[in-house]
Amino acid sequence: MSEIIQIKSIGEACRAFGFPTPKHPLVDVVWAKDMPDFNQYLGVKYNTELFAISLKDGIEGSMGYGRNSYDFTDGTMVFSKPNQVLSVEEKTISADAKGWMLAFHPDLIRKSVLGKTINQYNFFDYEVHEALHISEDEKATLTDLVRKIVTEINQNIDKHSQKLIISTIELILDYCNRFYDRQFYVRTNLHQDHVAEFEHFLKDYFNSEKPTELGVPSVKYCGEQLNMSSNYLSDLLKKETGKSAKDHIYAFIVNSAKNKLLGSTVSISEIAYGLGFEYPQHFSKLFKRQTGMSPVKYRIQN
């Protein structure tokens, strides 16, 4: 197993990749045209303590991200957060590349509102094949904001600098949320296929012996089986159906339980165990929360 290089700061990242010395200790922007020949880092794995937002424009090649490999295409946004393992597998950069990478340390935002809300930007946990693809106008919008951060970094730092930089980063993230919503919308037919695939997966799962062997499936498990991150699966379902992946799992369990309660004389405990619950009382609690009555009362009244 190859060694994983730990990068704890902006300065360490710049030294590791041959970037210019940063002018701010907690945030930096590197333009693609100024990036070195990354092929010298092929196969090397890095675990950084940084957040990074990257626009891949004028960069060709692939990047390892967790367990997957990702081929770059122009207009692709990739997001990473602290403690995600990254590696360069192959990369070439054109002379007129317009892409960029914005990196910042958690300490930059730690005492700000963004420090408390950044985990709500689910795309930091998306897999690479769930990347954001943006239009020319969207590229221009984000690149203009990045230039504002560069301006703040390059001038004398004053009491307003950090607040303005953080506010601009937050605006970039909010725009990316909007652009992801647009991507979900324009790909609705594909996503509806994913919804159907998820429902089919749940049906197969609960019709097998897996509930008794593995228990109630987690959103993470479902995502892995469908080749999606748990956050992307939940966001996709939320956009298409108004319900999260967990909502879908619970709804499927309750509907299956209703059929068993009314169509058989199987005990409540047996139904609970058959649906993957280790303790029947946990099943009864979920059923009552979803239907307003206990499984016993539901069976009697219907």
Please, which pLDDT band fits residue 175 given cuts at 50, 70 and 90?
very high
Residues 165 and 229 in one domain: no
Determine the Cα–Cα distance for residues 244 and 171; give it in Å rounded to an integer. Answer: 25
Residues 232 and 287 in one domain: yes
Please tell me the predicted confidence (pLDDT) of residue 46. 80
Please tell me the predicted confidence (pLDDT) of residue 68. 46
pLDDT higher than threshold 50 for residue 195:
yes
Number of domains observed in the structure of the chain? 2
pLDDT higher than threshold 80 for residue 55:
yes
pLDDT (mean) for 28-48: 76
Residues 54 and 79 in one domain: yes
Please, which pLDDT band fits residue 222 given cuts at 50, 70 and 90?
very high
- If one compares 43 and 104, the residue with the highest pLDDT of the two is 104
Q: What is the CATH number of the domain that holds 124?
A: 2.60.120
The model's pLDDT over 245-269, given as tens digits with 9 standing for 90+, comes to 999 999 999 989 998 998 888 999 9
The residue from 134, 152, 186 where one domain ends is 186
Sheet arrangement for strand 51-56: 27-31, 100-104, 51-56, 76-80, 132-133
Tokens of 187: 């790909």
Which residues lie closer than 8 Å to 223 by C-beta, 6 or more apart? Answer: 229, 230, 232, 233, 245
Please, which pLDDT band fits residue 70 given cuts at 50, 70 and 90?
very low
pLDDT higher than threshold 80 for residue 57:
no
Please tell me the predicted confidence (pLDDT) of residue 66. 46
Q: Which DSSP string do the residues of 115-142 spell out, in sequence order?
A: HHHGGG-GGGGS-GGG-EE--HHHHHHH
pLDDT (mean) for 33-49: 72
Residues 176 and 161 in one domain: yes
Residues 141 and 218 in one domain: no
What distance, in Å, lies between the first and last C-alpha atoms of the chain? 59
Residues 158 and 115 in one domain: yes
Residues 127 and 266 in one domain: no
Task: Return the DSSP state at 9.
Answer: S
Q: What is the CATH number of the domain that holds 229?
A: 1.10.10.60
Residues 60 and 175 in one domain: yes
Report the range of poorest mean pLDDT among 123-127, 157-161, 163-167, 197-201: 123-127
**φ/ψ of residue 55, rounded to 5:** -105, 120
The residue from 186, 218, 250 where one domain ends is 186
Residues 141 and 221 in one domain: no
Angle at 84 between CA 242 and CA 32, to 5 degrees: 95
Question: Which residue from 16, 227, 28, 50 is spatially nearest to 124, judged by alpha carbons?
Answer: 50
Q: What share of the chain is helix, strand, coil (3-state, %, to 5)?
A: 55, 15, 25
- If one compares 92 and 36, the residue with the highest pLDDT of the two is 36
Q: Which DSSP string do the residues of 242-266 spell out, in sequence order?
A: SS-HHHHHHHHHHHHHHHHHHH---
Task: Classify strands 4-7 and 76-80 as parallel, antiparallel or unpaired.
Answer: unpaired
Helix, strand or coil, per DSSP, at residue 74: coil
Full residue range of the structural domain in which residue 82 is found: 4-186
CB atoms within 10 A of CB 56: 26
The residue from 186, 210, 229 where one domain ends is 186
Residues 10 and 120 in one domain: yes
Q: Is 143 exposed, middle or buried (0-12, 13-18, 19+ CB in 10 A)?
A: middle
